[in-house]
Structure 1
Amino acid sequence: MDYAQALWDYHNTGTSLEQADVIVGLGSYDLRVADRCAELYAEGWAPLVIFTGASGNWTSGKLAGSEAQAFSDRAIALGVPQHAVRLEETATNISENIRFVRAHAPGAGKVIWVTKPQTQRRVSATLPVSWPGVISIITAPQHGLAAQPVAHHSFEALVSEMVGDTWRMAAYADKGFQARQPLGPDVQMAFDQLVAAGFTDHLPPTVRSLLDR
Protein backbone atom coordinates (compact mmCIF):
# COMPACT_ATOMS: atom_id res chain seq x y z
CA MET A 1 0.00 0.00 0.00
CA ASP A 2 2.86 2.40 0.74
CA TYR A 3 4.33 1.82 -2.72
CA ALA A 4 0.91 2.24 -4.35
CA GLN A 5 0.42 5.47 -2.41
CA ALA A 6 3.80 6.74 -3.60
CA LEU A 7 2.78 6.29 -7.25
CA TRP A 8 -0.66 7.78 -6.57
CA ASP A 9 0.95 10.87 -5.06
CA TYR A 10 3.40 11.10 -7.98
CA HIS A 11 0.67 11.08 -10.60
CA ASN A 12 -1.65 13.50 -8.77
CA THR A 13 -0.41 16.84 -10.11
CA GLY A 14 -3.61 18.86 -10.23
CA THR A 15 -3.59 22.66 -10.19
CA SER A 16 -5.77 25.35 -8.63
CA LEU A 17 -8.98 26.15 -10.49
CA GLU A 18 -9.24 29.28 -12.63
CA GLN A 19 -11.92 30.68 -14.91
CA ALA A 20 -11.51 29.19 -18.37
CA ASP A 21 -12.96 29.08 -21.88
CA VAL A 22 -13.79 25.38 -21.87
CA ILE A 23 -13.89 22.31 -19.63
CA VAL A 24 -12.55 19.14 -21.27
CA GLY A 25 -13.43 15.70 -19.91
CA LEU A 26 -10.96 13.02 -21.00
CA GLY A 27 -12.77 9.76 -21.63
CA SER A 28 -11.92 6.62 -19.66
CA TYR A 29 -13.53 3.84 -17.66
CA ASP A 30 -14.32 6.26 -14.82
CA LEU A 31 -17.60 8.17 -15.13
CA ARG A 32 -16.69 10.22 -12.06
CA VAL A 33 -14.66 12.36 -14.47
CA ALA A 34 -17.96 13.36 -16.09
CA ASP A 35 -19.38 14.06 -12.62
CA ARG A 36 -16.49 16.42 -11.94
CA CYS A 37 -17.06 18.19 -15.28
CA ALA A 38 -20.73 18.67 -14.42
CA GLU A 39 -19.76 20.03 -11.01
CA LEU A 40 -17.32 22.53 -12.53
CA TYR A 41 -19.87 23.65 -15.13
CA ALA A 42 -22.52 24.16 -12.44
CA GLU A 43 -20.05 26.28 -10.47
CA GLY A 44 -19.49 28.50 -13.52
CA TRP A 45 -15.83 27.79 -14.26
CA ALA A 46 -16.42 27.65 -18.05
CA PRO A 47 -19.41 27.96 -20.42
CA LEU A 48 -18.62 24.91 -22.58
CA VAL A 49 -17.80 21.24 -21.94
CA ILE A 50 -16.07 19.01 -24.49
CA PHE A 51 -15.92 15.26 -23.90
CA THR A 52 -13.23 13.38 -25.83
CA GLY A 53 -12.63 9.68 -26.33
CA ALA A 54 -13.42 6.77 -28.61
CA SER A 55 -13.39 3.34 -26.98
CA GLY A 56 -10.22 2.01 -25.39
CA ASN A 57 -8.77 -1.14 -23.85
CA TRP A 58 -10.71 -0.72 -20.61
CA THR A 59 -14.02 0.44 -22.10
CA SER A 60 -14.48 -1.60 -25.27
CA GLY A 61 -17.71 -3.56 -24.93
CA LYS A 62 -18.55 -1.93 -21.60
CA LEU A 63 -20.19 1.22 -23.01
CA ALA A 64 -23.06 1.52 -25.45
CA GLY A 65 -21.09 4.02 -27.53
CA SER A 66 -17.94 6.05 -27.24
CA GLU A 67 -16.40 7.22 -23.98
CA ALA A 68 -17.26 10.77 -25.01
CA GLN A 69 -20.92 9.87 -25.50
CA ALA A 70 -21.13 8.03 -22.17
CA PHE A 71 -19.58 11.00 -20.36
CA SER A 72 -21.90 13.42 -22.17
CA ASP A 73 -24.97 11.40 -21.20
CA ARG A 74 -23.84 11.37 -17.58
CA ALA A 75 -23.15 15.11 -17.48
CA ILE A 76 -26.46 16.00 -19.11
CA ALA A 77 -28.26 13.78 -16.61
CA LEU A 78 -26.52 15.81 -13.89
CA GLY A 79 -27.80 19.09 -15.29
CA VAL A 80 -25.34 20.27 -17.94
CA PRO A 81 -27.51 21.59 -20.82
CA GLN A 82 -27.21 19.89 -24.19
CA HIS A 83 -26.25 23.16 -25.91
CA ALA A 84 -23.18 23.46 -23.66
CA VAL A 85 -21.76 20.04 -24.61
CA ARG A 86 -19.63 19.01 -27.59
CA LEU A 87 -18.27 15.57 -28.42
CA GLU A 88 -14.95 14.41 -29.88
CA GLU A 89 -15.33 10.67 -30.43
CA THR A 90 -12.17 9.56 -32.25
CA ALA A 91 -9.25 10.04 -29.82
CA THR A 92 -7.69 6.84 -28.47
CA ASN A 93 -4.91 8.23 -26.26
CA ILE A 94 -4.06 11.37 -24.29
CA SER A 95 -2.06 12.97 -27.09
CA GLU A 96 -5.01 12.56 -29.47
CA ASN A 97 -7.45 13.77 -26.79
CA ILE A 98 -5.54 17.04 -26.58
CA ARG A 99 -4.81 17.51 -30.30
CA PHE A 100 -8.34 16.69 -31.43
CA VAL A 101 -9.93 18.93 -28.77
CA ARG A 102 -7.64 21.71 -29.97
CA ALA A 103 -9.29 21.41 -33.39
CA HIS A 104 -12.75 21.63 -31.77
CA ALA A 105 -11.85 24.72 -29.73
CA PRO A 106 -9.29 26.65 -31.79
CA GLY A 107 -9.96 29.96 -30.05
CA ALA A 108 -9.58 28.65 -26.51
CA GLY A 109 -6.84 30.36 -24.54
CA LYS A 110 -7.43 28.67 -21.18
CA VAL A 111 -8.69 25.12 -20.69
CA ILE A 112 -9.69 23.09 -17.64
CA TRP A 113 -8.68 19.46 -18.25
CA VAL A 114 -10.54 16.86 -16.18
CA THR A 115 -9.15 13.34 -15.97
CA LYS A 116 -8.73 10.50 -13.50
CA PRO A 117 -6.62 11.47 -10.47
CA GLN A 118 -3.82 9.09 -11.44
CA THR A 119 -3.65 10.42 -15.01
CA GLN A 120 -3.04 14.08 -14.18
CA ARG A 121 0.74 13.91 -14.61
CA ARG A 122 0.44 12.31 -18.04
CA VAL A 123 -1.93 15.09 -19.12
CA SER A 124 0.39 17.82 -17.81
CA ALA A 125 3.37 16.17 -19.51
CA THR A 126 1.58 15.79 -22.86
CA LEU A 127 0.18 19.32 -23.09
CA PRO A 128 3.48 21.12 -23.91
CA VAL A 129 3.90 18.81 -26.91
CA SER A 130 0.31 18.47 -28.15
CA TRP A 131 -0.97 22.01 -27.46
CA PRO A 132 1.91 24.34 -26.65
CA GLY A 133 0.91 27.79 -25.50
CA VAL A 134 -2.53 27.01 -24.12
CA ILE A 135 -3.03 27.90 -20.45
CA SER A 136 -4.08 24.69 -18.72
CA ILE A 137 -5.71 23.88 -15.42
CA ILE A 138 -5.72 20.18 -14.56
CA THR A 139 -8.14 18.62 -12.11
CA ALA A 140 -9.83 15.33 -11.27
CA PRO A 141 -12.48 13.82 -9.03
CA GLN A 142 -11.64 14.80 -5.48
CA HIS A 143 -10.91 11.55 -3.65
CA GLY A 144 -7.97 9.49 -2.46
CA LEU A 145 -6.39 6.20 -3.48
CA ALA A 146 -8.74 4.00 -1.45
CA ALA A 147 -11.80 5.37 -3.28
CA GLN A 148 -10.40 5.07 -6.81
CA PRO A 149 -11.06 1.37 -7.58
CA VAL A 150 -14.45 0.65 -9.13
CA ALA A 151 -16.34 -2.57 -9.80
CA HIS A 152 -14.87 -3.01 -13.29
CA HIS A 153 -11.37 -1.68 -12.45
CA SER A 154 -10.03 -3.27 -9.28
CA PHE A 155 -7.29 -2.08 -6.94
CA GLU A 156 -4.90 -4.51 -8.64
CA ALA A 157 -5.78 -3.06 -12.05
CA LEU A 158 -5.32 0.46 -10.69
CA VAL A 159 -1.85 -0.32 -9.36
CA SER A 160 -0.88 -1.92 -12.67
CA GLU A 161 -2.18 1.19 -14.45
CA MET A 162 -0.01 3.47 -12.29
CA VAL A 163 3.03 1.23 -12.80
CA GLY A 164 2.53 1.33 -16.56
CA ASP A 165 2.09 5.10 -16.60
CA THR A 166 5.22 5.56 -14.49
CA TRP A 167 7.18 3.61 -17.10
CA ARG A 168 5.62 5.78 -19.82
CA MET A 169 7.01 8.96 -18.26
CA ALA A 170 10.48 8.27 -19.63
CA ALA A 171 9.50 6.10 -22.59
CA TYR A 172 7.09 8.65 -24.03
CA ALA A 173 9.48 11.53 -23.42
CA ASP A 174 12.13 9.62 -25.40
CA LYS A 175 9.66 9.34 -28.29
CA GLY A 176 8.74 13.02 -28.14
CA PHE A 177 5.17 12.37 -27.00
CA GLN A 178 5.58 14.10 -23.62
CA ALA A 179 7.78 16.56 -21.79
CA ARG A 180 10.29 14.81 -19.57
CA GLN A 181 9.20 14.35 -15.97
CA PRO A 182 11.29 14.01 -12.81
CA LEU A 183 11.40 10.60 -11.17
CA GLY A 184 12.61 10.68 -7.58
CA PRO A 185 14.21 7.72 -5.77
CA ASP A 186 11.06 7.04 -3.75
CA VAL A 187 8.99 6.76 -6.92
CA GLN A 188 11.62 4.59 -8.60
CA MET A 189 11.67 2.27 -5.59
CA ALA A 190 7.89 2.04 -5.55
CA PHE A 191 7.89 1.23 -9.27
CA ASP A 192 10.58 -1.45 -8.89
CA GLN A 193 8.88 -3.09 -5.92
CA LEU A 194 5.46 -3.16 -7.57
CA VAL A 195 6.93 -4.60 -10.76
CA ALA A 196 8.62 -7.29 -8.67
CA ALA A 197 5.25 -7.98 -7.02
CA GLY A 198 3.69 -8.62 -10.44
CA PHE A 199 1.73 -5.42 -11.14
CA THR A 200 2.79 -5.35 -14.80
CA ASP A 201 -0.44 -5.74 -16.80
CA HIS A 202 -0.31 -2.17 -18.13
CA LEU A 203 3.26 -2.51 -19.42
CA PRO A 204 3.89 -3.44 -23.07
CA PRO A 205 4.55 -7.20 -23.46
CA THR A 206 8.12 -6.60 -24.64
CA VAL A 207 8.83 -4.54 -21.53
CA ARG A 208 7.27 -7.15 -19.26
CA SER A 209 9.47 -9.85 -20.73
CA LEU A 210 12.59 -7.78 -20.15
CA LEU A 211 11.63 -6.96 -16.57
CA ASP A 212 10.89 -10.62 -15.86
CA ARG A 213 14.46 -11.68 -16.69
Structure 2
Amino acid sequence: MALSLFQQLQLIWDYHLLNQEIKKSDAIFVLCSYDLRVAEHAAQLYLDGYAPLLIFSGAQGRTTEGLFHLSEAETFANVAKDMGVPSSAILVETKATNTGENIFFTQDLLKEKNIKVESLLLVQKPYMERRLLATFLKNWNDIEFCITSPNISFINYPTDDVTFDHVASIILGELHRLKIYPTLGYQEAQDIPDDVWEAFENLTQLGFDEYLLPE
Protein backbone atom coordinates (compact mmCIF):
# COMPACT_ATOMS: atom_id res chain seq x y z
CA MET A 1 0.00 0.00 0.00
CA ALA A 2 1.37 3.42 -0.95
CA LEU A 3 2.14 5.80 1.88
CA SER A 4 0.10 8.97 2.22
CA LEU A 5 1.74 12.38 1.94
CA PHE A 6 1.75 12.73 5.72
CA GLN A 7 3.19 9.23 6.21
CA GLN A 8 6.03 10.00 3.81
CA LEU A 9 6.83 13.24 5.63
CA GLN A 10 6.68 11.42 8.96
CA LEU A 11 9.13 8.82 7.60
CA ILE A 12 11.64 11.53 6.74
CA TRP A 13 11.07 13.36 10.04
CA ASP A 14 11.74 10.14 11.97
CA TYR A 15 14.92 9.51 9.97
CA HIS A 16 16.32 12.88 11.02
CA LEU A 17 15.80 12.06 14.71
CA LEU A 18 18.60 10.20 16.54
CA ASN A 19 16.89 9.61 19.90
CA GLN A 20 20.22 9.67 21.72
CA GLU A 21 20.58 9.44 25.48
CA ILE A 22 21.72 12.81 26.79
CA LYS A 23 24.63 12.99 29.21
CA LYS A 24 26.17 15.55 31.52
CA SER A 25 28.85 17.41 29.58
CA ASP A 26 31.40 20.21 29.84
CA ALA A 27 29.13 22.56 27.89
CA ILE A 28 25.81 22.79 26.12
CA PHE A 29 26.36 23.95 22.55
CA VAL A 30 23.30 25.44 20.86
CA LEU A 31 23.10 25.96 17.10
CA CYS A 32 20.68 28.84 16.83
CA SER A 33 17.88 29.46 14.35
CA TYR A 34 14.38 30.92 14.15
CA ASP A 35 12.98 28.41 16.66
CA LEU A 36 13.03 29.79 20.19
CA ARG A 37 11.82 26.44 21.52
CA VAL A 38 15.41 25.26 20.98
CA ALA A 39 16.66 28.06 23.23
CA GLU A 40 14.12 27.09 25.90
CA HIS A 41 15.15 23.43 25.70
CA ALA A 42 18.83 24.32 26.03
CA ALA A 43 18.22 26.66 28.95
CA GLN A 44 16.23 23.97 30.76
CA LEU A 45 19.09 21.50 30.24
CA TYR A 46 21.41 24.01 31.92
CA LEU A 47 18.97 24.57 34.76
CA ASP A 48 18.67 20.79 35.17
CA GLY A 49 22.43 20.59 35.71
CA TYR A 50 23.57 18.95 32.47
CA ALA A 51 26.48 21.38 32.02
CA PRO A 52 27.97 24.48 33.67
CA LEU A 53 28.32 26.44 30.42
CA LEU A 54 25.81 27.37 27.71
CA ILE A 55 27.15 28.35 24.26
CA PHE A 56 24.92 29.98 21.65
CA SER A 57 26.14 30.26 18.06
CA GLY A 58 24.45 32.03 15.16
CA ALA A 59 24.36 35.27 13.18
CA GLN A 60 21.26 35.69 11.02
CA GLY A 61 20.21 33.13 8.45
CA ARG A 62 17.70 32.91 5.64
CA THR A 63 14.81 32.28 8.03
CA THR A 64 15.68 34.90 10.67
CA GLU A 65 16.61 37.95 8.63
CA GLY A 66 14.10 40.56 9.71
CA LEU A 67 12.61 38.25 12.35
CA PHE A 68 15.00 39.12 15.20
CA HIS A 69 16.44 42.55 16.02
CA LEU A 70 19.58 40.90 17.37
CA SER A 71 21.63 37.97 16.13
CA GLU A 72 20.19 34.50 16.61
CA ALA A 73 22.75 33.81 19.35
CA GLU A 74 21.96 36.99 21.27
CA THR A 75 18.23 36.37 20.92
CA PHE A 76 18.59 32.80 22.21
CA ALA A 77 20.81 34.00 25.06
CA ASN A 78 18.14 36.47 26.14
CA VAL A 79 15.59 33.63 26.26
CA ALA A 80 17.95 31.68 28.51
CA LYS A 81 18.51 34.67 30.79
CA ASP A 82 14.77 35.21 31.08
CA MET A 83 14.51 31.58 32.24
CA GLY A 84 17.08 32.16 34.98
CA VAL A 85 20.41 31.25 33.39
CA PRO A 86 23.08 33.66 34.69
CA SER A 87 24.97 35.75 32.13
CA SER A 88 28.23 34.40 33.57
CA ALA A 89 27.31 30.91 32.33
CA ILE A 90 26.65 32.02 28.74
CA LEU A 91 28.99 32.40 25.76
CA VAL A 92 27.71 33.98 22.56
CA GLU A 93 29.14 33.55 19.05
CA THR A 94 27.44 35.86 16.54
CA LYS A 95 29.19 35.33 13.18
CA ALA A 96 28.20 31.81 12.08
CA THR A 97 25.75 31.48 9.19
CA ASN A 98 25.87 27.69 8.69
CA THR A 99 26.60 24.54 10.67
CA GLY A 100 30.26 24.39 9.67
CA GLU A 101 30.79 27.97 10.81
CA ASN A 102 28.93 27.22 14.06
CA ILE A 103 31.64 24.65 14.76
CA PHE A 104 34.70 26.56 13.55
CA PHE A 105 33.82 29.93 15.08
CA THR A 106 32.89 28.30 18.39
CA GLN A 107 36.19 26.42 18.44
CA ASP A 108 37.94 29.75 17.93
CA LEU A 109 35.90 31.40 20.69
CA LEU A 110 36.74 28.64 23.17
CA LYS A 111 40.45 28.97 22.34
CA GLU A 112 40.23 32.73 22.74
CA LYS A 113 38.59 32.31 26.16
CA ASN A 114 41.06 29.53 27.08
CA ILE A 115 38.19 27.16 27.76
CA LYS A 116 38.86 23.47 27.19
CA VAL A 117 35.94 21.13 26.61
CA GLU A 118 36.13 17.39 26.23
CA SER A 119 32.40 16.76 25.93
CA LEU A 120 29.46 18.67 24.48
CA LEU A 121 25.70 18.36 24.67
CA LEU A 122 24.55 19.61 21.26
CA VAL A 123 21.12 21.20 20.90
CA GLN A 124 19.33 21.67 17.57
CA LYS A 125 15.92 21.52 15.95
CA PRO A 126 14.55 17.95 15.70
CA TYR A 127 14.90 17.68 11.94
CA MET A 128 18.56 18.77 12.04
CA GLU A 129 19.83 16.15 14.48
CA ARG A 130 21.24 13.79 11.86
CA ARG A 131 22.94 16.50 9.82
CA LEU A 132 24.48 17.88 12.99
CA LEU A 133 25.84 14.41 13.72
CA ALA A 134 27.26 14.10 10.20
CA THR A 135 28.88 17.55 10.39
CA PHE A 136 30.41 16.98 13.82
CA LEU A 137 31.82 13.60 12.80
CA LYS A 138 33.63 15.39 9.99
CA ASN A 139 34.73 18.58 11.73
CA TRP A 140 34.92 18.06 15.52
CA ASN A 141 35.30 14.36 16.13
CA ASP A 142 37.98 14.47 18.84
CA ILE A 143 35.50 15.11 21.65
CA GLU A 144 32.57 13.23 23.10
CA PHE A 145 29.17 14.58 22.15
CA CYS A 146 25.51 13.73 22.19
CA ILE A 147 22.62 15.43 20.43
CA THR A 148 19.19 16.50 21.63
CA SER A 149 16.29 18.65 20.48
CA PRO A 150 12.94 19.81 21.85
CA ASN A 151 10.53 16.90 22.18
CA ILE A 152 8.05 18.09 19.56
CA SER A 153 6.31 15.75 17.15
CA PHE A 154 6.10 16.43 13.42
CA ILE A 155 2.36 17.11 13.57
CA ASN A 156 2.88 19.65 16.38
CA TYR A 157 5.97 21.35 14.95
CA PRO A 158 4.27 23.96 12.72
CA THR A 159 3.23 27.20 14.43
CA ASP A 160 1.48 30.41 13.42
CA ASP A 161 4.83 31.61 12.07
CA VAL A 162 6.12 28.28 10.69
CA THR A 163 3.64 26.66 8.33
CA PHE A 164 3.19 22.98 7.56
CA ASP A 165 4.43 23.52 4.00
CA HIS A 166 7.55 25.26 5.31
CA VAL A 167 8.34 22.39 7.66
CA ALA A 168 7.72 19.86 4.89
CA SER A 169 10.02 21.70 2.49
CA ILE A 170 12.79 22.23 5.01
CA ILE A 171 12.98 18.60 6.17
CA LEU A 172 13.38 17.62 2.51
CA GLY A 173 16.10 20.25 2.19
CA GLU A 174 17.90 18.74 5.16
CA LEU A 175 17.73 15.27 3.60
CA HIS A 176 19.08 16.64 0.31
CA ARG A 177 22.05 18.09 2.18
CA LEU A 178 22.69 14.74 3.86
CA LYS A 179 22.92 13.26 0.37
CA ILE A 180 25.03 15.97 -1.28
CA TYR A 181 27.27 17.48 1.40
CA PRO A 182 29.44 14.38 1.96
CA THR A 183 30.48 14.55 -1.72
CA LEU A 184 31.64 18.13 -1.08
CA GLY A 185 33.61 17.21 2.04
CA TYR A 186 31.32 19.04 4.45
CA GLN A 187 30.13 16.06 6.50
CA GLU A 188 30.36 12.32 6.98
CA ALA A 189 28.09 10.22 4.80
CA GLN A 190 24.93 8.83 6.37
CA ASP A 191 23.10 5.72 5.21
CA ILE A 192 19.76 6.84 3.75
CA PRO A 193 17.26 3.97 3.55
CA ASP A 194 15.63 3.36 0.18
CA ASP A 195 12.13 4.09 1.44
CA VAL A 196 13.25 7.42 2.89
CA TRP A 197 14.82 8.49 -0.39
CA GLU A 198 11.80 7.28 -2.36
CA ALA A 199 9.61 9.47 -0.14
CA PHE A 200 11.97 12.40 -0.81
CA GLU A 201 11.66 11.96 -4.56
CA ASN A 202 7.88 11.66 -4.40
CA LEU A 203 7.48 14.75 -2.24
CA THR A 204 9.84 16.97 -4.23
CA GLN A 205 7.81 16.13 -7.32
CA LEU A 206 4.76 17.41 -5.46
CA GLY A 207 6.45 20.80 -5.05
CA PHE A 208 8.10 20.65 -1.62
CA ASP A 209 11.37 21.86 -3.13
CA GLU A 210 11.90 25.34 -1.71
CA TYR A 211 14.97 24.39 0.33
CA LEU A 212 16.67 21.95 -2.04
CA LEU A 213 20.24 22.65 -3.08
CA PRO A 214 20.61 24.06 -6.60
CA GLU A 215 21.47 21.51 -9.27
TM-score band w.r.t. shorter chain: over 0.9
Task: Give the structure 2 partner of residue 211 of structure 1.
Answer: none
Is the contact between residue 8 and residue 118 of structure 1 (CA under 8 Å) also seen in structure 2?
yes
The answer as to 2:184 corresponding to 1:190 is no
Q: How big is the shift at 1:132? A: 2.0
CA-based RMSD of the aligned residues comes to: 1.0
Partner Cα distance (1:59, 1:170) in 2: 25
- Of 130, 138, 145, which residue of structure 2 is paired with 1:136? 145
Partner Cα distance (1:126, 1:27) in 2: 15
- Of 167, 172, 176, which residue of structure 2 is paired with 1:158? 167
Partner Cα distance (1:195, 1:22) in 2: 38
Is the contact between residue 53 and residue 92 of structure 1 (CA under 8 Å) also seen in structure 2?
yes
Task: Give the structure 2 partner of residue 200 of structure 1.
Answer: 209
Partner Cα distance (1:24, 1:16) in 2: 16
Q: How big is the shift at 1:198? A: 0.4
- Of 42, 55, 61, which residue of structure 2 is paired with 1:56? 61
Task: Give the structure 2 partner of residue 29 of structure 1.
Answer: 34
Matched ranges for 1:24-173 at <5 A: 24-106=29-111, 107-173=116-182
Task: Give the structure 1 partner of residue 3 of structure 2.
Answer: none
Q: How big is the shift at 1:176? A: 0.5
Partner Cα distance (2:173, 2:80) in 1: 29
Give the 3-state SS of the residue equivalent to 1:105 in structure 2.
helix
Partner Cα distance (2:182, 2:157) in 1: 27
Task: Give the structure 1 partner of residue 190 of structure 2.
Answer: 181
Q: How big is the shift at 1:186? A: 1.2
Q: How big is the shift at 1:185? A: 1.1
Give the 3-state SS of the residue equivalent to 2:70 in structure 1.
coil
Is the contact between residue 163 and residue 199 of structure 1 (CA under 8 Å) also seen in structure 2?
yes
Task: Give the structure 1 partner of residue 14 of structure 2.
Answer: 9
Q: How big is the shift at 1:111? A: 0.2
Give the 3-state SS of the residue equivalent to 1:201 in structure 2.
coil
Task: Name the count of aligned residue pairs.
Answer: 206
Partner Cα distance (1:124, 1:99) in 2: 15
Q: How big is the shift at 1:181? A: 0.5
TM-score (norm 1): 0.94
Q: How big is the shift at 1:196? A: 1.1
Is the contact between residue 14 and residue 140 of structure 1 (CA under 8 Å) also seen in structure 2?
no
Partner Cα distance (1:97, 1:147) in 2: 27
Is the contact between residue 14 and residue 137 of structure 1 (CA under 8 Å) also seen in structure 2?
no
Structure 2, unaligned stretches of length 5 or more? 1-5
Q: How big is the shift at 1:103? A: 2.1
Q: How big is the shift at 1:155? A: 1.0
Structure 1, unaligned stretches of length 5 or more? 208-213
Partner Cα distance (2:35, 2:156) in 1: 12
Q: How big is the shift at 1:17? A: 1.0
Q: How big is the shift at 1:13? A: 1.3
Q: How big is the shift at 1:105? A: 2.8
Q: How big is the shift at 1:151? A: 2.1
Partner Cα distance (1:195, 1:134) in 2: 37
Identity of aligned residues (%): 36
Q: How big is the shift at 1:152? A: 2.0
